[in-house]
Amino acid sequence: MCPRPSFSRSARAWGGAALATLLTLAAPTAQGAEQVVFVSGAFRRSIPVADLERLSRTGEAVGLLGDALRLGGQDPAGVAKLLNHGVTLPLVPTTRLLSTRFGEDALERLSVILYPLRAPKVGMVALRSATILGVQNGSGTLSAVGFLRAYPNEDVAINLPALQSALEGLSGMGNVVNEFLESDLGSNLERVKEPRAPAKP
């Protein structure tokens, strides 16, 4: 088995410079989202990000957000917990991952669901920026509230039909994932160890 190629010093330097440049360029425009706009055809409903932040801090839902949770039979405290839930994402590996083919594909798919309301074509750029800045501001942790605070556009659109389609697709993938995990290959994944780093000369 061939050892993994190591990055040269110049490649690592370019990677660090690219990260610094991205953060520098994104920071001045990343004032944070002010509205989350739910879109379905001509339908538009907006919830202020301030109301989401208030819910995350106090567990109290007000305005349209409160009405929506009541109609949906949702517990505000449970939703507040979801808003505050943080996912650990190391900054540099996350930045590199978003620049890979896999990361670009994920951003492209998500940008159909979540994008700047008045500039949908830059959805991928906005997602990448919000993720990286959110992770940076959260010291390696990203939450829904942290993502919205870092989003570089005032109005974040959520396309409801596209979201529903994606959720249905994820539901359909559940059986595929379960079958994989129950297979011989899936059950043996835990035994696979990462290859050792090449020895230094």
| Cα dihedral value 168, 131, 186, 164, nearest 10 | 0
| Per-residue pLDDT tens over the stretch 90-145 | 999 999 999 999 989 999 999 999 999 989 999 999 999 999 999 999 999 999 99
96 within some domain: yes
146 within some domain: yes
Domain count, the chain: 1
φ and ψ at residue 24, rounded to 5 degrees: -65, -45
Q: What is the mean pLDDT of the chain?
A: 77
192 within some domain: no
Specify the pLDDT at position 198. 55
Q: pTM score, two decimals?
A: 0.68
Sign for the CA dihedral angle at 76, 52, 109, 91 comes to negative
Specify the pLDDT at position 172. 58
24 within some domain: no
67 within some domain: yes
Query: Among residues of the chain, what percentage have pLDDT more than 90?
Result: 53
C-alpha of 141 from chain center: 11
| Per-residue pLDDT tens over the stretch 41-63 | 888 999 999 999 999 999 999 99
Does the pLDDT at position 25 exceed 80? no
190 within some domain: no
- Domain extent for 123: 29-185
The Cβ of residue 38 has, within 10 Å, a number of other Cβ atoms equal to: 17
18 within some domain: no
Specify the pLDDT at position 83. 93
120 within some domain: yes
